[in-house]
Amino acid sequence: MPSPYRAIFAAPGAKGFSAAGFLGRMPLSMMGIGIVTMVSQLTGRYGLAGALSATLAISAAVLGPQISRLVDRHGQRRVLRPATLVAVVSVAGLLLSAQQRWPDWTLFAFSACAGCVPSVGSMVRARWAAVYRGRRELHTAYAFESVVDEVCFIFGPILSIGLSTAWFPEAGPLLAAGFLAVGVLWLTAQRATEPEPHPRGHHAGGSPLASRGLQVLVATFVAMGVIFGAVDVVTVAFAEERGHKAAASLVLATYALGSCLAGAVFGLLHLKGDPARRWLWGICAMAVSMIPLQLVGSLPFLAVALFVAGLSIAPTMVTTMALVEQHVPRAKLTEGMTWTSTGLAVGVALGSSAAGWVVDASGAAAGYLVAGVAGVLAAAVAFLGYRRLRVPAPQRPGGPAPQARGGSVTDGGNEQQRVA
């Protein structure tokens, strides 16, 4: 591991909470695509499969920020464990209703309840912020977590699609629920690195979404989520049309691999200049990378196109987290980070649903047009909102920087004065 990455794990407890976060985030890449694979196998209806995946994403988009707001107030352990219990029980109900061929409304009901899953990635990044607030190591830590996200997206679809096609249809979502339960229990058991909750008084001023900068980030992430949701659904259908449905997981893995490699390199760089400009270039690169998908005619060509498209993802995500810190009060950092995830979730919901209907109506290849249009919209929103991001918003009253409960992880006031 390159020395900048080795250095961030010198902090006590960093290895433990990052590893727990890896397990807890596996459902992020497994659950939606697992539902699509399961339902398409059991019913052959991609429209229904995409709609259920969209329901799960919309529910997570609605509930996720509320869960994170409670975490900021009451702490991770007190909130994440009951939320995860609701999500796991709901997934079990979804699998049972699908296996028993219960009415469609039961599938949608359980999918909606399963959206109670917490944003584990935001919880882990909040712990890194408590450890390295105001230090250069935080950029490397965020880059590492983006790499972890992409590793999840490399192996998650392979496990979910592979198990559901080779073992039994419900296997992928079932394993995803198991990862969520183990990851959250492990993470919340680590009290020393848990950021201190902020009392209700620190949360005056309303939601962090009132920040104009965060509004731009969230709106752009909605369009990005449409890209991700469409690519997942259409790639599964594209592979099935060519008689190799199980290969969809490998093709999607190349998408995540491109992002993973780019994120690893990005974390080694000591970048200067305006992060908003880097973010804008990242969004534009992502939009341009959707063009080759409109021309795909084979799985190998699709894999190469998705690998190239993935190169812009992780650097854009890392820069986004830095911008969130600039535009969100410190006492609401977890909720602010979750709002970006919410934007992605809403986009995934729209993208998976729209792509599913396009595939049913016109075939898999036509479905990539949904991702292309979303790329154009993402670039347009980024250009229109760029000025809101150029000058960092002043920190509004939100309390002191988050610190770990143990007190030995970070030096609070001194580290706040360091400039990354």
Cβ–Cβ < 8 Å for 260, 148: no
Provide the pLDDT for residue 322: 78
Residues facing 195 on adjacent strands: 404
Q: Is residue 199 part of a domain?
A: no
Q: Is residue 201 part of a domain?
A: no
Task: Give the SS3 label for residue 45.
Answer: coil
Q: Is residue 414 part of a domain?
A: no
Q: Is residue 404 part of a domain?
A: no
Which tokens in the block code for residue 7? Answer: 């250095």
Our CA dihedral for 130, 132, 135, 139, rounded to 10 degrees, sits at -100
pTM exceeds cut of 0.85 = no
Provide the pLDDT for residue 75: 83
CATH number of the structural domain spanning residue 293: 1.20.1250.20
Q: Is residue 10 part of a domain?
A: no
Cβ–Cβ < 8 Å for 252, 310: no
Q: Does an H or E element contain 188, and which?
A: helix 171-188
Provide the pLDDT for residue 399: 42
Q: Is residue 405 part of a domain?
A: no
Map tokens 């950092």 to a residue.
333
Q: Does an H or E element contain 306, and which?
A: helix 299-310
Q: How many domains does the chain have?
A: 1
Helix intervals (H) in 44-136 = 46-74, 76-99, 104-114, 120-132
Q: Is residue 138 part of a domain?
A: yes
For the chain (420 residues), the mean pLDDT of every run of 10, in chain order, is 75 89 87 84 79 83 84 86 93 89 89 87 86 77 82 78 84 91 93 78 60 86 89 86 80 84 81 80 92 87 92 87 77 77 78 84 86 93 84 45 42 31
Cβ–Cβ < 8 Å for 174, 35: no
Contacts of 151 (CB under 8 A, 6+ apart): 22, 256, 260
Q: Is residue 237 part of a domain?
A: yes
Provide the pLDDT for residue 408: 35
Which tokens in the block code for residue 109? Answer: 């009901």
Provide the pLDDT for residue 206: 62
Map tokens 């690195």 to a residue.
193
For residue 108, the enclosing domain spans 15-188+209-393
